[in-house]
Amino acid sequence: MSLERPPEAASGEREDGASETAILTIDLDALIANYRRLRDLASPAECAAVVKADAYGLGMALAAPALSRAGCKTFFVATLGEARALRALLPDAAIYVFAGLMPGTAELYRAHDLRPVLNSAEEIGEWASFCAMRGEKLACAVHIDSGMNRLGLSADEVDRMAHARDLWQAVTLSLVMSHLACADEPTHPKSEAQRKAFDRLRAKLPMALASLANSAGILLGRAYAYDLVRPGIALYGGKPARQSDHHFHPVVHLKGRILQVRKVAEGETVGYGATHTMKRPSRVAIVSVGYADGFFRSLSTKDGQEGLVVYIGSHTAPILGRVSMDLITIDVSLVPEELSRRGAWVELIGPNVSAQAMAHHAGTIDYEILTNLGRRALRRYVGG
């Protein structure tokens, strides 16, 4: 087990978390189990790992080495800064950078043995010129836009680049990739249209390994796996497809401490704005987590609205009123008093409360939940 403490933590703090008001546990064994399952689903394609945004908020410094020990050899990040940090952790991994080649960065890619994902004809030209100047055929990926209209070469650019033999001879094209727009909806026709466009366009470029599938794309079947898949959210226990029988192990567990339990009379209100009025005499608990910890303010409730339900042991406790910066209020009227006492722990994300459930009530997606988990909670890494 590894503990990661906030900068302001006192040196005399106990390692069992007795002085903590919130604990965020990251289960590296679950992360590895998810990777192995995705690898098996995509086989014989290689299974890479997307560890951008600090491994989706879970901590790249421990998540990436755990994935490497599980056999992952190829990693994707969003920015050059993330790539340099990852290279320090994994000296031998193949590391691709989605943001591509910004002006003046080619030497940094070379110095740290990183691979830009080239997103335009202009970037391909600059990378080829740099490689020719250095006399080294450095590795890169090329991103084709197959219909998402985000990053990537347009069909016209692919046609222009198809005949640029001098450019291709200067570089090592290690991967041609694209990205699916609607893979989280398994029956959406856009995915098949993109797959066909990808095949048509990549055939015009030099031969290289191909990659199309993210987490949801892997679940679409072998036709989408090609040579390499790039899972992200499924690695971290998220739900990649809206309607799917595939479930992945929860990696994140967040719990908050009860600071106080109080009795509130019928007709009284709870929290800022007096948005929730008690319909009966109740026991409420004040829990030490708020939007500063990534527990979104949009999880607030008001009269007549059913919100997120959290857990104390096997007992449910609904959120009451507004989420504030440091606190939430929950109804513990139906929870035994010996369990809902001052100092007890409340499950906010875990086996009973998924990140998807929290995202649903917050009006967002689990990606945003995970990447916004605050740094105030004591982070505890287990397994791996």
**H-state helical runs in the chain:** 28-42, 52-56, 60-69, 80-89, 106-111, 121-134, 155-161, 165-170, 189-202, 215-218, 355-362, 366-371
> CB 302: neighbour CB atoms within 10 A?
15
Residue 368 gets which letter from DSSP?
A: H
Biggest alpha carbon–alpha carbon distance for the chain: 79
Q: 169 near 133, Cβ under 8 Å?
A: no
* Cα atoms in the Cβ-side hemisphere of radius 13 Å centred on 113: 10
Sign of the C-alpha dihedral computed for residues 211, 217, 223 and 229 taken in this order: positive
Report, as residue numbers or ranges, the catalytic residues. 52, 272
For Cα atoms 82, 99, 134, give the angle at the middle one, nearest 5 degrees.
Answer: 90
5 burial type by CB count under 10 A (0-12 exposed, 13-18 middle, 19+ buried): middle
Closest Cα partner for 217 from 125, 124, 148, 159? 148
Residue count of the chain, please give it.
384
Retrieve residue 341's tokens.
């006492």
Rounded Cα distance, 290 and 273, in Å: 16
Rounded Cα distance, 24 and 16, in Å: 13
Question: What's the Rg (C-alpha) of the chain?
Answer: 24
